[in-house]
């Protein structure tokens, strides 16, 4: 942040909306569409105030038809516009996934690079507030698995604004996912660390650059989104016990900053991947595989440990949901166990 910057404290929802608004002012081709994004301002407040500024021709409330408005975004992008298409909950992607993974993700490749699809798909992810199995998933690994999609998952307001502006300016389809539990919503408890200083002016954060949000010497915790804040609180517990954890916030899954992960693991010799997505076939396995592929350059002191949601639907019951989703105490306990493990 430059000396001349004017920063205010914003919630992540406010930062996302500000980033979208500044890009709409800068580029008349940018518009947004989705369910309840107009007068209501989006169910997670990501478009609050934009209808009043830009009108219904650029902030478009849509029918409850994900396939329809995702297809409209695809067509608009093909004709030279730069749409932002909000999928209210990521869990709903199934009804429009053909538009995403068979068309948005592949048409640039299939056209030999002659067609571009600069669409930003925004969506709310994550649980922790008893919204049950169909409204509480993360699922970012599914999008990351599909070539042609960039995947962005910020953990705080500063990153969210810079990454949103970068996403809108990118000529490729970008899936921009924000965790409901860090948006700073008045009707929902959230981690205060996600609300931070954000410059008034426009700025970008390049994709594929992870951030070390806490330095440490004993163990690396690789994570993202709300789990960053849980990991920080866990690290504070561990520090009182003499264990210093380094926390790497990935910020984007595609592109993935493999070098940042490997640098940190080379430093600490231990790795815990803390993830709110499902355990099998996901982010935690990918990070573990990256480390395994570079074992000849690393001196691991213990086997890699993964902490994620077990392969069950997210429960509605609060005690069961809290048990299924990694929490501060479970992260701290996983690190303690990791410190006691040794490679044969």
Q: Of 176, 199, 222, which marks where a domain is finished? A: 199
Cα 168 from Cα 174, distance rounded (Å): 8
Beta-carbon contacts of 99 under 8 Å, excluding residues fewer than 6 positions away, are 67, 70, 71, 74
Structural domain total, the chain: 2
Are 195 and 227 found together in one domain?
A: no
Cα 117 from Cα 72, distance rounded (Å): 12
Is residue 301 exposed (0-12), middle (13-18) or buried (19+ Cβ within 10 Å)?
A: middle
Is residue 235, in this structure, part of any structural domain at all? yes
| DSSP secondary structure, 67-126, as one string | HHHHHHHHHHHHTT-EEEEEEEEGGGGGGGHIIIIIIITTHHHHTTT------EEEEEE-
Are 194 and 221 found together in one domain?
A: no
Q: Of 199, 222, 256, which marks where a domain is finished? A: 199
Is residue 1, in this structure, part of any structural domain at all? no
Record the tokens describing residue 272, joined without a space.
């815990």
Are 26 and 106 found together in one domain?
A: yes
Are 262 and 192 found together in one domain?
A: no
Reply yes or no on whether 179 is catalytic. Answer: no
| Catalytic choice (135, 145, 229, 297) | 135
pLDDT tens over the chain, length 344 residues: 444 567 799 999 999 999 999 999 999 999 999 999 999 999 999 999 999 999 999 999 999 999 999 999 999 999 999 999 999 999 999 999 999 999 999 999 999 999 999 999 999 999 999 999 999 999 999 999 999 999 999 999 999 999 999 999 999 999 999 999 999 998 877 777 899 999 999 999 999 999 999 999 999 999 999 999 999 999 999 999 999 999 999 999 999 999 999 999 999 999 999 999 999 999 999 999 999 999 888 899 999 999 999 999 999 999 999 999 999 999 999 999 999 988 76
Is residue 163, in this structure, part of any structural domain at all? yes
Predicted pLDDT of residue 344: 63
Is residue 225 exposed (0-12), middle (13-18) or buried (19+ Cβ within 10 Å)?
A: buried
Helix, strand, coil percentages, rounded to 5, for the chain: 40, 20, 40
Q: Of 151, 179, 199, which marks where a domain is finished? A: 199
Predicted pLDDT of residue 70: 96
Are 103 and 81 found together in one domain?
A: yes
**How many Cβ atoms are within 10 Å of 161's Cβ, its own excluded?**
27
Is residue 204, in this structure, part of any structural domain at all? no
Angle subtended by helix axes 12-26 and 157-169, to nearest 10: 30
- Where on the phi/psi map is residue 119: left (φ > 0), alpha (ψ -120 to 50), or beta? beta
Domain containing 131 — which CATH number?
Answer: 3.40.50.970
Are 122 and 234 found together in one domain?
A: no
Question: At 225, is the secondary structure helix, strand, or coil?
Answer: coil
Are 268 and 310 found together in one domain?
A: yes
Are 219 and 193 found together in one domain?
A: no
Is residue 216, in this structure, part of any structural domain at all? yes
Are 120 and 233 found together in one domain?
A: no
Are 129 and 163 found together in one domain?
A: yes
Q: Which domain holds residue 33?
A: 7-199
Is residue 149, in this structure, part of any structural domain at all? yes
Is residue 136, in this structure, part of any structural domain at all? yes
Is residue 141, in this structure, part of any structural domain at all? yes
Are 140 and 257 found together in one domain?
A: no
| pTM confidence score | 0.95
Are 161 and 249 found together in one domain?
A: no
Domain containing 255 — which CATH number?
Answer: 3.40.50.920
Predicted pLDDT of residue 209: 98
Predicted pLDDT of residue 188: 79
Give the Cα-Cα-Cα angle 60, 65, 70 (nearest 5 degrees): 70
- The answer to whether the CB of 165 falls within 8 A of the CB of 122 is no
């Amino acid at each position: 942040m430059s000396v001349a910057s004017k920063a205010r404290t914003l919630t992540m929802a406010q930062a996302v909306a500000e980033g979208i608004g500044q890009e709409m002012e800068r580029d008349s081709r940018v518009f947004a569409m989705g369910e309840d994004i107009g007068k209501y301002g989006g169910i997670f407040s990501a478009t609050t105030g934009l209808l009043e500024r830009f009108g219904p021709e650029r902030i478009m409330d849509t029918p409850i038809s994900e396939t329809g408005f995702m297809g409209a975004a695809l067509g608009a992008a093909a004709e030279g516009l730069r749409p932002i298409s909000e999928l209210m909950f990521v869990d709903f992607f199934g009804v429009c996934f053909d538009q995403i993974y068979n068309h948005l993700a592949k048409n640039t490749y299939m056209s030999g690079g002659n067609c571009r699809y600069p669409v930003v798909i925004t969506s709310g992810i994550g649980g922790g507030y008893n919204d049950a199995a169909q409204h509480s998933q993360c699922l970012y690994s599914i999008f990351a698995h599909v070539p042609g999609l960039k995947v962005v998952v910020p953990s705080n307001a500063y990153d969210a604004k810079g990454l949103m502006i970068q996403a809108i300016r990118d000529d490729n389809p970008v899936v921009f996912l924000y965790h409901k539990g860090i948006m700073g919503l008045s009707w929902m408890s959230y981690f205060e660390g996600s609300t931070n200083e954000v410059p008034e002016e426009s700025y970008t954060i390049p994709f594929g650059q992870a951030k070390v949000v806490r330095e440490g010497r004993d163990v690396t915790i690789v994570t993202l989104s709300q789990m960053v804040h849980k990991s920080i609180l866990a690290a504070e517990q561990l520090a009182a016990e003499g264990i210093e954890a380094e926390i790497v916030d990935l910020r984007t899954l595609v592109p993935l900053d493999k070098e940042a992960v490997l640098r940190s693991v080379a430093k600490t010799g231990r790795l815990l991947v803390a993830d709110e997505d499902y355990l099998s076939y996901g982010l935690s396995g990918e990070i573990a595989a990256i480390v395994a592929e570079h074992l000849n350059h690393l001196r691991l002191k213990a086997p890699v440990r993964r902490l994620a949601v077990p392969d069950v639907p997210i429960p509605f019951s609060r005690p069961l949901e809290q048990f299924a989703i990694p929490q501060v105490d479970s992260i701290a306990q996983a690190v303690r166990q990791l410190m006691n493990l040794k490679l044969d």
